[in-house]
């Protein structure tokens, strides 16, 4: 039972998550030779206030 966790900055639409879930699940099922219904995809939406890169929070980058 593969479990794939995808951590993204918040803001993706439900349609984007549906498309990602379908594409990733199909690829894992095919490559890992496991039934599609056994593939789990979990999205972790991280607020821009809780994610930084290069010493700067994403929330602060967008404020400039």
Catalytic residue, candidates 2, 21, 24, 43 = 2
Both tokens of 39, joined, read: 């593939």
47 among known catalytic residues: no
Burial (0-12, 13-18, 19+ Cβ within 10 Å), 13: exposed
Both tokens of 24, joined, read: 């990733």
Please give the positions annotated as active site.
2
């Amino acid at each position: 039972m593969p479990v794939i966790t995808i951590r993204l900055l918040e803001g993706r639409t439900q349609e984007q998550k549906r498309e990602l879930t379908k594409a990733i699940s199909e690829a894992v099922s095919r490559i890992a030779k496991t039934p599609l219904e056994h593939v789990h995809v979990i999205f972790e939406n991280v607020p821009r206030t809780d994610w930084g890169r290069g010493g700067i929070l994403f929330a602060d980058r967008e404020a400039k």
